[in-house]
């Protein structure tokens, strides 16, 4: 086993162990992948101010996200097909998050179901919901969340239509993979993954198959999803979801100040500045570039979080310094899971936390609550 010291080490190992179509699903963007790459590279442009001869003892990175205590301003983002990165992947990621002390978010398009997570973790978690034409299916899903002790609902707003993701199209992405010659050859090089999948019954979308009318197999599921993402989504629909749910509501996919103001008016509890990991509108700004203007406009009225491009604890600290009261990590979790299962997710969280903690100390702080733009070198970071 190689020595793992950073998230890139986990990515390299995941690429070796995860079948090509599922690795590409997690590690790709839409069209030219320009926004996908910018999410990460724009963090590198932001420079930190090193301070010396300051007391670095008794440091804390603890905070709250929608009232929930977290060890650091990080939660696990909703990632579809997580259970194809590793057998029962969502369950392993949820357990790693629970033990570490941060929230976990389950995707609608997960392999493990809402009930699987509830039974396996015995702890509150968050659920990510898409707006679908089948409102009855949404009501049933929301009711299942209530029964499973879900403590917050994350409504994703930026997938009314699906961005063209060339790698997914070329790979013929399905869950489980079709038994084509190319897939069989690739799977033969992934014995660890195949052995894990042989030991679980969870091979397709657990939140939909058997729970949504007319979805009984992969063929009907594909037809249903192509028809169900609702392109007519509007703010009245968000009010409908809020009424049906009645609990904490987080709106994900905000990239514009005007939309952020409308989100505040909707009564949401938090918003996530996010371009869907560069998987939707290619050519949009990076999440970290969009963050400051949104914080300036609504940060005093609502919790503003961000996701996209976070590969280190330094990235978390930079986002916090620019006003994000929380961050979501998706790919860093997926790399860890694909590389080493639950142990890999734990390793990813340990890496990010250590980098966050040590960098905060080098910047002259012992409590993340006191960190602001003063830790950043003027002229190197985006402003409102």
Domains by residue range for the chain, with CATH = 7-375 (3.20.20.70)
Annotated catalytic residues are 276
Residue in the structure block whose two tokens are 């949504």 = 212
Burial of 33 (0-12, 13-18, 19+ CB in 10 A): middle
Residue 275 pLDDT? 98
Q: Which percentage of the chain shows pLDDT scores above 70? A: 97
Structure tokens that stand for 305 in this block: 């979080």
Give the H or E element holding residue 252: strand 248-254
Residue 161 pLDDT? 86
| Distances in whole angstroms, Cα of residue 211 to Cα of each of 17, 19, 107, 208, 302 | 31, 28, 15, 5, 34
**308-319: average pLDDT:** 98
Cα dihedral 75→78→84→88 (10° resolution): 60
Q: Which percentage of the chain shows pLDDT scores above 90? A: 89
Q: Which position has the higher pLDDT, 76 or 220? A: 76
pTM value? 0.96
Cα dihedral 238→239→242→246 (10° resolution): 180
pLDDT, tens digit, 9 for 90 and up, residues 123-175: 899 999 999 998 999 999 999 999 999 999 999 999 988 889 999 999 988 88
Structure tokens that stand for 322 in this block: 């620019």
Q: Which of 262, 315, 313 is nearest to 291 (CA)?
A: 315
In this structure, of 161-165, 214-218, 245-249, the range with the lowest mean pLDDT score is 214-218
Q: How confident is the model at residue 218 (pLDDT cuts 50, 70, 90)?
A: low
| Distances in whole angstroms, Cα of residue 259 to Cα of each of 139, 271, 383 | 25, 10, 18
């Amino acid at each position: 086993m190689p020595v793992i010291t950073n998230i890139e080490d986990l990515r390299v190992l995941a690429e070796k162990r995860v079948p090509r179509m599922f690795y590409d699903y997690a590690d790709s963007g839409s069209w030219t992948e320009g926004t996908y790459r910018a999410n990460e590279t724009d963090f590198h442009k932001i420079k930190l101010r090193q301070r010396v001869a300051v007391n670095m003892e008794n440091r804390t990175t603890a905070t709250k996200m929608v009232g929930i205590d977290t060890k650091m301003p990080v939660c696990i983002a909703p990632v579809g097909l997580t259970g194809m990165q590793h057998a029962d992947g969502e369950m392993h990621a949820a357990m790693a998050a629970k033990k570490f002390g941060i929230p976990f978010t389950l995707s609608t398009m997960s392999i493990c179901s809402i009930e699987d997570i509830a039974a396996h973790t015995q702890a509150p978690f968050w659920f990510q919901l898409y707006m679908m034409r089948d409102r009855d299916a949404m009501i049933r899903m929301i009711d299942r969340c209530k029964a499973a002790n879900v403590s917050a609902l994350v409504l994703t707003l930026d997938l009314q239509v699906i961005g063209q993701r060339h790698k997914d199209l070329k790979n013929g992405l399905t869950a489980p993979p079709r038994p084509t010659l190319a897939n069989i050859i690739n799977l033969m090089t992934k014995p660890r993954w195949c052995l894990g999948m042989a030991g679980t019954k969870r091979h397709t979308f657990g939140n939909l198959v058997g729970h949504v009318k007319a979805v009984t197999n992969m063929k009907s599921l594909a037809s249903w999803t192509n028809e169900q993402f609702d392109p007519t989504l509007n703010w009245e629909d968000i009010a409908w979801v809020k009424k049906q749910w009645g609990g904490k509501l987080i709106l994900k996919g905000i990239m514009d100040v005007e939309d952020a103001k409308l989100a505040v008016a909707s009564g949401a509890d938090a918003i996530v500045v996010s371009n869907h990991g560069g998987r939707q509108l290619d050519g949009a700004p990076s999440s970290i570039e969009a963050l400051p203007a949104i914080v300036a406009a609504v940060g005093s009225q609502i919790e503003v979080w961000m996701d996209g491009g976070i590969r280190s604890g330094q990235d978390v600290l930079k986002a916090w310094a620019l006003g994000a009261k929380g961050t979501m990590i998706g790919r860093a979790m997926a790399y860890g899971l694909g590389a080493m299962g639950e142990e890999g997710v734990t390793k990813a969280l340990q890496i990010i936390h250590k980098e966050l903690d040590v960098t905060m100390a080098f910047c002259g702080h012992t409590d993340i609550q006191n960190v602001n733009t003063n830790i950043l070198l003027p002229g190197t970071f985006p402003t409102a």
